């Protein structure tokens, strides 16, 4: 559902940007006097569109983001409706043929009034777009301020590492099966997945197996990963557990860390 909200917002912005670019073309050269306003509105909407692209990469937008995306979608519809009206008026004006001096003067006055109205509407749309951007920034700044003051929330899966295994029921069977799988040299097991609903003790079982087998390996690592992990930090954590001489905190990228881990583990158990 969240993906649909983001897609609707980003999808609605595409036609708007195309029509704004069209208004700057030769076909609408009668609007050259308001090109500055059109370009300014375009830049404002491009900034909003960039925010939407970033949000599209998030797996689970928060309620504030979803409310803002709805506002952006409504703004894009307002802008597009106005642009359609501008284009229709310009085309209708081009098709009309004034007959005589009086009609010619009336036509020019009508075009002047239309350009003034379009310029005013463009300026209003720009203000509306700026308000949407500023409101989003204000809420984000407020949220970041609250986050910095509030205590950090610990991933419950990380706490599960320290849970007393005696509190869990039915652990011995799965634990024994895991140990057998990992000890079977014929299968040459490289990966074992523990799946199940939250709260069943998957992390605790994994930690118990790790604690029992770690003595058989000179180099090992154990860590709990959140739903949206920073992969560079994850790899840095793993490398730090393998190579105790690694202090971390550097500027290594993901490829560099992977190369270091692979090189370090060559011919090691």
Map out the domains of the chain as residue ranges: 2-149, 156-265
Q: How far is CA 116 from the centre of its chain?
A: 39
Query: Closest by alpha carbon to 268, among 222, 217, 211, 221?
Result: 217
Cβ atoms < 10 Å from Cβ of 15 = 14
Q: Helix, strand or coil for residue 59? A: coil
Average pLDDT, stretch 17-35? 72
Average pLDDT, stretch 59-82? 76
Phi/psi for 168 (5° steps) reads: -90, 140
Nearest-5° Cα angle at 78, 42 to 23? 40
Where residue 69 falls among pLDDT bands split at 50, 70, 90? confident
Q: Does this model's pTM top 0.85?
A: no
State what percent of residues in the chain have pLDDT above 70.
62
- Point out the least confidently predicted range of 63-77, 149-163, 215-229: 149-163
CA distance 105 to 268: 90
pLDDT value at residue 2? 47
**Contact (Cβ atoms closer than 8 angstroms) between residue 264 and residue 218:** no
Cβ atoms < 10 Å from Cβ of 111 = 16
Q: Tokens for 133?
A: 């951007």
CA neighbours within 13 Å on the CB side: how many for 244? 3
Where residue 5 falls among pLDDT bands split at 50, 70, 90? very low
């Amino acid at each position: 559902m969240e993906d649909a909200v983001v897609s609707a917002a980003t999808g609605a912005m595409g036609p708007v940007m195309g029509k704004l670019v069209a208004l700057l073309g030769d076909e609408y050269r009668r609007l050259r006097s308001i090109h500055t306003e059109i370009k300014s509105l375009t830049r404002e909407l491009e900034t909003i569109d960039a925010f939407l692209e970033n949000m599209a990469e998030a797996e689970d937008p928060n309620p504030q983001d979803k409310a803002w995306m709805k506002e952006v979608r409504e703004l894009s519809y307002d802008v597009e409706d106005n642009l359609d009206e501008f284009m229709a008026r310009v085309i209708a004006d081009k098709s009309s043929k004034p007959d005589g001096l009086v009609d010619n003067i009336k036509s020019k006055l009508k075009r002047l009034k239309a350009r003034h109205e379009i310029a005013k509407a463009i300026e209003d749309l720009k203000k509306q777009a700026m308000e949407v951007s500023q409101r989003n920034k204000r809420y984000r700044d407020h949220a970041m301020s609250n986050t910095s003051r509030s205590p950090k929330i610990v991933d419950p899966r990380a706490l599960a590492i320290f849970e007393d295994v005696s509190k869990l029921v039915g652990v011995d069977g799965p634990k024994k099966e895991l140990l057998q799988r990992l000890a079977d040299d014929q299968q040459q097991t490289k990966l074992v997945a523990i799946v199940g609903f939250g709260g069943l003790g998957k992390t605790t079982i994994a930690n118990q197996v790790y604690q029992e087998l770690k003595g058989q390996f000179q180099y090992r690592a154990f860590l709990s990963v959140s739903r949206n992990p920073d992969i560079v930090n994850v790899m840095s954590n793993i490398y730090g557990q393998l190579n105790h001489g690694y202090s971390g905190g550097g500027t290594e990228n993901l490829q560099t860390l992977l190369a270091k881990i692979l090189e370090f583990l060559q011919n090691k158990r």
